[in-house]
Amino acid sequence: MTLETLKTHAVHGGTLRYLKHDSATTGTPMALSVFVPPGEGPFPVLIWLSGLTCTEDNFTTKAGAYASGAEHGVIIVAPDTSPRGEGVADDPAYDLGQGAGFYVDATEAPWAPHFRMETYVVEELIGLIDAEFPTTRARSISGHSMGGHGALTLALRHPHLFRSISAFAPISSPTRCPWGEKAFTAYLGSDRALWDAHDAARLIEKGVGEGCFDDILIDQGDADPFLVEQLKPELLVAAGEAAGQPITLRMQPGYDHSYFFMASFIADHVAFHARRLKG
């Protein structure tokens, strides 16, 4: 597998690369950014999953994560949110199709041939990063909104791969909100029983990942316009309480759904993961 470097920047003593490669999983080119902190390594890895409409660039340019990555000696990886390109299925709406992969492997037409984002992240991306960069093979995962849903569900479904989980304003229970119902119907079909395997609150309720994570850190702005209808963090907290899974939900007064919110607290999340990656 060949990684093509598109751009390189020095930042906080480390190196940020924009990269692309031909994915065997999605059958398309896939883009990502990788920050490597100063030093020889090896380093642990934090994977970041972005939200609806985002590419590999949103987090990279807006979150301000690399000072903390350099301080704690953590590689930070930000992949694109979906396959893209000519011949890849799409939809005119922002919440379906390209830019809205939801980190599941689609089973329904026309999405199934390319929309295989779960396998892409947990198999191909992880393997690529470990092969091409000086990693310790210890990794954690975080994300925002749709990416917060992805971080939670992928870690719960594959707990042997990740030391810790955090999220900003995650879609906590996609089976019970309009964004998730629309995407899951399209990608996974109409059998709602199959959706539960990709719903973080439902997974925690069922004890999936039990005993694997000492805490899950969630930051949520109380001025987020999607809080009540789409995000529903109270369902995640209730599931954690019922199953005995510690979840730290920090409701942040006045913060919305934007990257200004993430930039304000990203250092806390990098430090949260660094303690567990090196502990």
Q: What tokens appear for 148 in the block?
A: 């917060």
Catalytic residue, chosen from 82, 224, 269, 273, is 224
Place of tokens 């992880």: 126
Catalytic residue among 145, 166, 172, 173: 145
- φ, ψ of residue 123 in degrees (nearest 5): -115, -65
Could you confirm whether 158 is annotated as catalytic?
Answer: no
Contact in structure between 50 and 148 (CB atoms under 8 Å): no
Residue of 114, 257, 269, 273 with catalytic role = 257
Q: Is 257 a catalytic residue?
A: yes
Query: d(Cα 114, Cα 111) in Å, to the nearest integer?
Result: 6
Q: List CB contacts of 128: < 8 A, sequence separation 6 or more.
A: 1, 3, 21
User: What value does the CA radius of gyration of the chain take, rounded to a whole number of Å?
Assistant: 17
Q: Is 219 a catalytic residue?
A: no
Q: Write out the E strands in 29-164.
A: 29-36, 43-49, 75-79, 135-143
Residues with a catalytic annotation lie at 145, 224, 257
